[in-house]
Homo-oligomer: A and B are copies of this chain.
Amino acid sequence: MKKLINDPNAVVGEALEGMALAHEGMILVHRDPDFITRADAPVRGKVALVSGGGSGHEPMHGGFVGRGMLDAACPGAVFTSPTPDQMVAATMAVDGGAGVLHIVKNYTGDVLNFEMAADLAREAGIDVHAVVIDDDVAVQDSLYTAGRRGVGATILAEKICGGAAEAGMRLAQVAELCRSVNGAARSMGLALSACTVPHAGTPSFALGADEMEFGIGIHGEPGRRTIKLAPADEIAAMLMEPILADLPFRRGDDILLFVNGMGGTPLIELYIMVRAARAIAVKHGLSVSRHLVGSYITSLEMAGVSITALRLDAAMRGYWDAPVVTPALRWGA
């Protein structure tokens, strides 16, 4: 296992300490229980957004904490749900009196723990709504999920709902917007290589030198099937066709196209995938008015790509474009 780490059991804590140093003034890192808040939390009168999940997917979620996006994020151990006490502490810390939205990726542990945390926070008098994200069209159930997995749409929902909350939208409406984003987004991913969880020490699955795992999730769990290497244009078609057919996206729809690297894939390859995916979208009669390209929801050092398409409406476009100041996404301010 070749990693820039010290102790496999200290990976998350040491990375949090590094984040705190690198982004001082933007975020605050709290320990025991571990959570990250925007530096100026709680913001009085604003709906607060809290997300979280296993570590190893950086910059998700801690990298999306800041003005215009998340108020707090709870990092679990690598590929392991955070615990309810983290979620409760984060929820209490960022509630500004207007309630808190939990944005939860659909993994069994995350869903159960966020449900428990929401109950506890409500008992403490905080108004909590929760939305579960399940945009991955690859598989119906998986090692980690009943139902579809939550992947790339999570980030889009966090940004768009963050913009809405910043603009003064009330809790029930922010939750409804979050459900709308999830309902209008579809994703699919593919891996060229496996990844190694630090405390496991060995790769989470095996791929031959000429093989790819198609329909991969973000934990190295099996996808739809193992297939032979293919050119980027064919890979883009394999990912885009099930995405476009599932919603379905229709001629004339305007979309946000999110081409995401899994952690070990260089940017030059992601741009080749953008070119290919965009051509398929245009051929399908879609316009592509927004793009996001980079490694934003990752699986440690896994090489691979996922694509997310989100059908935009005017409100979503506006909240997407709104200012955001976080470690990983920053514009307009």
Question: Is B192 a contact of A270 with CB atoms below 8 Å?
Answer: no
Residues of chain A in range 156-210 having any CB-CB distance to chain B below 8 Å: 192-193, 209
A159 to B9, CA, bound (A): 37
Contacts of A275 in B (CB 8 A): 14-15, 17-18, 21
Question: Is B6 a contact of A301 with CB atoms below 8 Å?
Answer: no
Contacts of A229 in B (CB 8 A): 2
A184 to B72, CA, bound (A): 37
Interface of A is mostly: mixed
Question: Is A266 a contact of B264 with CB atoms below 8 Å?
Answer: yes
Question: Is B265 a contact of A301 with CB atoms below 8 Å?
Answer: yes
> In the complex, which of the residues A58, A209, A268 has the most CB atoms of chain B within 10 Å of its own CB atom?
A268
B18, B21, B271: the one contacting A22 at CB < 8 Å is B271
Given known pairs A18-B274, A274-B22, A303-B301, the reply for A58 and B2 (CB within 8 Å) is no
Residues of chain A in range 18-67 having any CB-CB distance to chain B below 8 Å: 18-19, 21-23, 55-56, 58-59, 63
A288 to B22, CA, bound (A): 9
B55, B58, B231, B264: the one contacting A6 at CB < 8 Å is B231
Residues of chain A in range 253-284 having any CB-CB distance to chain B below 8 Å: 259, 263-276, 278
Contacts of A192 in B (CB 8 A): 2-4
Question: Is B274 a contact of A21 with CB atoms below 8 Å?
Answer: yes
Chain copies in the assembly?
2
Given known pairs A267-B58, A268-B58, A272-B11, the reply for A291 and B21 (CB within 8 Å) is yes
Question: Is B278 a contact of A6 with CB atoms below 8 Å?
Answer: no
A16 to B192, CA, bound (A): 23
Contacts of A56 in B (CB 8 A): 266, 268
5 A-B interface contacts by CB (under 8 A):
A2-B209, A6-B232, A6-B233, A267-B298, A301-B303
Tell me how far the C-beta of A128 lies from the nearest C-beta in chain B, rounded to whole angstroms.
Answer: 29
Contacts of A11 in B (CB 8 A): 268, 272
B264, B271, B300: the one contacting A268 at CB < 8 Å is B300
Indicate if A87 sits at the interface (CB-CB under 8 A).
no
Contacts of A298 in B (CB 8 A): 266-267
A310 to B303, CA, bound (A): 32
Contacts of A112 in B (CB 8 A): none
Contacts of A288 in B (CB 8 A): 21
Indicate if A315 sits at the interface (CB-CB under 8 A).
no
Tell me how far the C-beta of A15 lies from the nearest C-beta in chain B, rounded to whole angstroms.
Answer: 4
Indicate if A312 sits at the interface (CB-CB under 8 A).
no
Indicate if A5 sits at the interface (CB-CB under 8 A).
yes
Question: Is B264 a contact of A4 with CB atoms below 8 Å?
Answer: no
Contacts of A278 in B (CB 8 A): 18, 21
